[in-house]
Chains A and B, each alone.
Chain A
């Protein structure tokens, strides 16, 4: 029996179904991230776990107890909101203990719990202040303190970092991860930022259009995307998707694209392709991550199948740690990621190494992965 079970859950507003048959099992101590573009239903799903939105059909249970129709305060959950939702008229201390007070916890215990949390988050000097007197990062901490003090079964985070500036966001990300490692609590976290999803989670559910597109570990999602949506949504810069032709010869297979001069390049697939992967000459979409298209010296030494090609570089974008290059393949712009010191000049033809281990194929019609 899993800790948090979402079984065949749907959400509709009138006749409009916005979440379609969602199934997720979360084990105790997991950090599940729901990620997707806005309007994909991730926040709705989180609100349903919290009990702020009704479940239209299906079942949701925490620790084996069915939670459909149970009031939010009786689910033993805590939530951190995007706007932090700190009560403006109360001090930080009152904000943190409000939930305990509502649950009739005696004052000495409330204070003990508050002190524990205040020390953990280092917000002790802020306890007497009002939320209006705090910076964004401090508010974020207080909001987390308010969630932590309840000792809930499940923590729910609704885009908690999206109101912070870039540097603070990275710091708080690490902080949240540390907190999870230390406390080992179960967390469901909603974000539209795929980097947050990758760095924080133990598992990711990529959502789009009210469907779970793929559920898996960050590595699975990144290396083995189930469809074109997942492939292009996860990763920055996003995966290059090129139209290509499938070449089959007995048990071996390859895909053919064109280089910047319109000449064909053949990319052999080391592990071949299953029978239903398409016939010889079929149209496919080849997905190449920017880091799989790099300079020969920067290529992964453990890769089993590297194809060397030469291609013209149109634009270089030195980013400090890497240099991103734009080149043309299969008639479209393709982004490659090279070492920072790679000697590349715009307009010149350079050597590239394509790590075929990381290349994935998709069906152009169904947009699903071909293996």
Chain B
């Protein structure tokens, strides 16, 4: 998937914490060069601070990546945030709009910035982090679920749009994962809920990163796939 001799380059959003950080660590361990886009400073080789919902800021960040490394082999869109415990009638216009602009808009902005580069090289992989909630639905976090579901529709369609190139577009839909996004009092941390999972536990960020790594390195046969390391939350 990458030219021999050069260390491949991954751009990872949300790289400062949780799943994004774990992805960066796994790719670096495997010898990749990493650029991290986050509101906060990340531990990537090239840490870039930008709001993924800001299209111009994302474009500028991606330009810095190509300036520094000369290539982008992988985009992982993990930037996001979570809100739960809100009845559907209480979700405000602002809450809805912000969730859509960060999760869906952030994914779209990053793809729009990276894709021309990948198309000109004729190779690359895009992996969006969605959520098992987008497959199964959920209650009291409807704006998050809608945004993550929209990401899947977007990714499956983009995958088809570039299918005849060597660019592969896929998604990973984690189950409830032990990251800072899940508050200490999150419903997903409750023992009664965890007992309903076949694995009986939260997913670890490294387990999502391992799925991303597999898709990035051996996933050329996947096109619009949704890979679900979810502890059995959705089967």
Q: Answer yes or no: do A and B interact.
A: no
Interface residues of B (CB under 8 A from A): none
Interface residues of A (CB under 8 A from B): none
